[in-house]
Amino acid sequence: MALTGLDIFKLLPKTNCKKCGMPTCLAFAMALAQKKVKLDDCPDASDEARDKLAAAAAPPMRKVTFGSGENQVQIGQETVLFRHEEKFHSPTVIGATVSDKLTGDELRKRIEAVNALRFERVGTKIGVKAIAVVNDSGSADSFAAACEAAKTASSLALILVSDSPEAMAAGAAKVKDRIPLLASATPDTAEAMAKIAKDNGCPLVAGAESIKALADLTEKINRAGVEDIILNIEGPGLKNQLGKAAKMRTLALKKVFRPLGYPTISFVCDGDPDTQMVAAVSLICKYSGIVVVDTVEPWALLPMLTTVMNIFTDPQKPVQVEPKIYKIGEPDENSPVMFTTNFSLTYYTVESDVEASRIPSYILVVDTEGTSVLTAYSGDKLNEKTVADAMTKLGVEKLVKHRKLIIPGYVAVMSGKLEEATNWEVMVGPRECSMLPKFLQEVWN
């Protein structure tokens, strides 16, 4: 919780020496609480005051990273309970398991199946970002071998899952250069697991069944020298987990309760892929930084990744595509030219319907600050001038011999002014772009 002026005053020398330019230490404290001055302006502030003020200024939820290079992932540093208050910052990392009971071809195939969980949705590539090696065998040697195999065959961030400090030490030693996440320390193994995490420079998951036990455990791990911690609230039942997750988030963000000021992980490994999918989607919404599932069925993973994609956008900024000319198929100088706006959903709907027509085309995307056709038109972001300027800037005239422009049916009203502004013949397209294939086949052909 932010310190008040009086809290800060108690930390100051109270000599009223005026070196800071303020008449009294109290005046300086009040100004510091309002962020009008910096603590450095007081040359006599003690180290204790500096440490306490720095701790109070730290974000309520720590940022934690693991993995290396391009595949490093970041979670945490969230600031709000509800997305509409600001936005959620660190998209949930989805991971899938690989059991260390697998060997040889079976192990290789499972790792490949996890690697293959990648999709493209509305022009954005999405996929799993972590591979979780699970110590099902109970053997430290098997675990170390599976960790090494995952490191060799996958560039995804690694999560090592074992309750055994012996197995964890063996696995971490094989892959420590990839900075894996170690899961999990329990109240019984906290010291041993914290030592492994500290020795290998890895973040550590703390797992307990109650919020109180979890808070005690993070303090213990922190005292052992590990600062990068991830919370795993255990216990049966999705309802139970969601309730605890919401309570922990509230304590961390609203009460700035430091022992719970870390991102969270959920393991969704029970039940068939349908059940896992439903639980994972719920936990992404409330508020898992990492979700590990035990399925590699693409149809089960896609809804999870889509949920992440939808929740971790900025609600105040529409999702946009780059304003430019998009080629559908291999258009030539006789191909149709049409325009739409740079609202992502609008563009990809139009693109899909033009593709369905099988007529190679040019789509001119006009910058309307990410708004749809009707919204842009009514806000005067889409008018004859913005379209004409985009056509000139993007060199549409050089692409085709004809001078015919297809416009969305919803803005047929701008036809006359657009013809005057461009000297192109305007063809009014359908109001709904689902009718574009029929329109292009009948009118353009």
Dihedral, 172, 178, 184, 190 alpha carbons, nearest 10? 60
Which helix or strand (DSSP H or E) is residue 159 part of? Answer: strand 157-161
The rounded distance, in Å, linking the Cα atoms of 255 and 198 is: 29
Out of 7, 16, 74, 257, the only residue in the binding site for ligand SF4 (CB under 6 A) is: 16
Out of 3, 20, 229, 328, the only residue in the binding site for ligand SF4 (CB under 6 A) is: 20
Of 305, 285, 300, the closest CA to residue 126 belongs to: 305
44 is an interface residue for ligand SF4 by CB under 6 A = yes
414 is an interface residue for ligand SF4 by CB under 6 A = no
Out of 12, 328, 373, 411, the only residue in the binding site for ligand SF4 (CB under 6 A) is: 12
6 is an interface residue for ligand SF4 by CB under 6 A = no
Which positions from 304 through 323 interact with ligand SF4, judged by CB under 6 A? none
Residue 38 or 247 with smaller CB distance to ligand SF4: 38
Strand pairing partners for 124? 121
The rounded distance, in Å, linking the Cα atoms of 158 and 67 is: 6
Which positions from 21 through 40 interact with ligand SF4, judged by CB under 6 A? 22, 25, 28
Residue 22 or 226 with smaller CB distance to ligand SF4: 22
Residue range at the interface with ligand SF4 (CB under 6 A); choices 11-19, 196-204, 251-259, 359-367: 11-19
409 is an interface residue for ligand SF4 by CB under 6 A = no
245 is an interface residue for ligand SF4 by CB under 6 A = no
The rounded distance, in Å, linking the Cα atoms of 363 and 319 is: 18
50 is an interface residue for ligand SF4 by CB under 6 A = no
3-state secondary structure of 37: coil
The rounded distance, in Å, linking the Cα atoms of 252 and 76 is: 11
Q: Buried (b) or exposed (e) across 123-161, using 16+ Cβ within 10 A? A: eeebbbbbbbbbbbbebbebbbbbbbbbbebbebbbbbb
8 is an interface residue for ligand SF4 by CB under 6 A = no
Alpha helices (H) along 201-322: 211-223, 238-253, 273-285, 298-311
Residue range at the interface with ligand SF4 (CB under 6 A); choices 9-17, 66-74, 330-338, 386-394: 9-17
User: Could you tell me the smallest distance in angstroms from the CB atom of residue 11 to ligand SF4?
Assistant: 10
Q: Which residues bind ligand SF4 (CB under 6 A)?
A: 12-13, 15-20, 22, 25, 28, 42, 44
